[in-house]
Amino acid sequence: MESPSGNPYSQLKPKRKLPRQGQQLPPLPYVASTIEGRSAGEVFRETGTAMVEELQELRRTLHRHPEIGLELPRTQKAVLNALEGLPLEITLGQDLSSVTAVMRGGKRGERAVSVLLRADMDALAVKERTGSPFASTNEYMHACGHDLHTAALVGAAHILSQHREEIAGDVIFMFQPGEEGPGGADIMIDEGVLDVAGRRPIAAYGLHVGPQDRGTFHYINGPTMASSSNLAVTVYGKGGHGSRPHDAVDPVTCLAEIITSLQTAITRRFDALEPIVLTVTNLRAGDGAFNAIPDQASFSATVRVLRDEQINAVRQVIGEVTSNIAAAHRCSVEVDFEVLYPTTKTNARENQFAATVWGAQFGPDSIRQFEAPMMASEDFGAVLAQVPGSFFWLGTANPQTPYAQREWNHSPLARFDDSILGDQAAALASIAFERLATEDQHPSTITKAARTAVKTGSPSAKAGEPVKAPED
């Protein structure tokens, strides 16, 4: 029967429009490379195991003589000595003691792609109390495991150099100072670490040691570690005698109220499901006299925010709380809020790929997902803001030790089992090797276009020519 309008479909309900979803790319394929008929991961792990003692010696040398900040001359020299003789193009930092090394693979072809591996090298201003036979000889300590990161990346360079002719691209080794502050990653980026191979890397990987079960790899998609900001607050009052506070303007009571009020403000101004941490770490007031009210008091704090878009809102709340409380106490206040590092955001495809590669290499039970992001911070986020990649944690703790009894990173009692170094080096070598193999056999649209440009003689191909390292 014909509808009154003459349109046979006029009586049908209109189709509900669904919201458009962002494009979700398929998982990266895993090639499962072989070397002389054996699994590449197996070969690399075997090589790493054979060089454990050498890597331990390097790590323990670094541990005995830790350096902090951007200038690490002794550490830089140790890394250069450990890399000597390898087929690497090495560039040294200008404004920091960094080492950047590029290995050109034998199967790189034209318009080669690259993968970046990163290790941080700096220590902390922490006095070691482990009693280790290779404990620090100065006032600093490798309490965050960066000595293992450095030794493992050196190991990865050695492993890959033995199989350089089989590598389907270039590998960038990023040895970075200043992760603990003031931010060496940004400086290395400014000095060209992401462009040193001639083209930006297709992926970047970091592998951090921690107190998780030995040999387990941990990750979470998206924001993995929080942004980090430094907060400094100084309250100015009027000094006086401790017996006559009414004649003075006490900055101490004002400061104390600001500290407690900031904790309350964070919980009342932001959703409880929005991870934000403000921790006061330093307090200063007076010169030691018990009976004198000082004319100023100050504190320092670290502020961690998981979503970068919330940083300005947190900054505003801090400004409102401090200024209003200071006014109520007849004080004036100075606030300095400095954003150090952005959130470290990992790429879901690269996480999946790393989990697949390392699960095949070390067993599926070795791969674990964190239940939630960490509120600690990492300036590797500056790299991941420009290059897709992953940031995993590798456990070094005895699984039989209760978790509550394990010393966390940054503790003066922190210990890391450096017998893991062979596997750590093998893991880094494998992820670079396999990622390049995958891009070679299953090229992305960008890689296909670059290859086509070379074949057709397009002038755009010149953009992929390797660049020379700057003169020292």
| CA torsion through residues 239, 243, 249, 254, sign | positive
Cα–Cα distance for residue pair 115/77, rounded to 1 Å = 24
Chain-centroid distance of CA 117 in Å reads 11
* Catalytic residue flag (residue 180): yes
Omega cis (within 30) before 182: yes
**434 has catalytic annotation:** no
Chain CA centroid to CA 80, Å: 23
3-state SS, one letter per residue, for the chain? CCCCCCCCCCCCCCCCCCCCCCCCCCCCCCCCCEECCEEHHHHHHHHHHHCHHHHHHHHHHHHHCCCCCCCCHHHHHHHHHHHCCCCCEEEECCCCCCEEEEEECCCCCCCCCEEEEEEECCCECCCCCCCCCCCCCCCCECCCCHHHHHHHHHHHHHHHHCCHHHCCCEEEEEEECCCCCCCHHHHHHHCCCCCCCCCCCCEEEEEEEEEEECCCEEECCEEEECEEEEEEEEEECECEECCCHHHCECHHHHHHHHHHHHHHHHHHHCCCCCCEEEEEEEEEECCCCCCEECCEEEEEEEEEECCHHHHHHHHHHHHHHHHHHHHHCCCEEEEEEEEEECCEEECHHHHHHHHHHHHHHHCHHHEEECCCCECCCCCCHHHHCCCCEEEEEEEEECCCCCHHHCCCCCCCCCCCCHHHHHHHHHHHHHHHHHHHHHHHHCCCHHHHHHHHHHHHCCHHHHHHCCCCCCCC
Amino acid 145 reads G
Catalytic residue among 147, 166, 180, 350: 180
- The active-site residue out of 67, 120, 122, 166 is 120
Residues designated catalytic: 120, 180
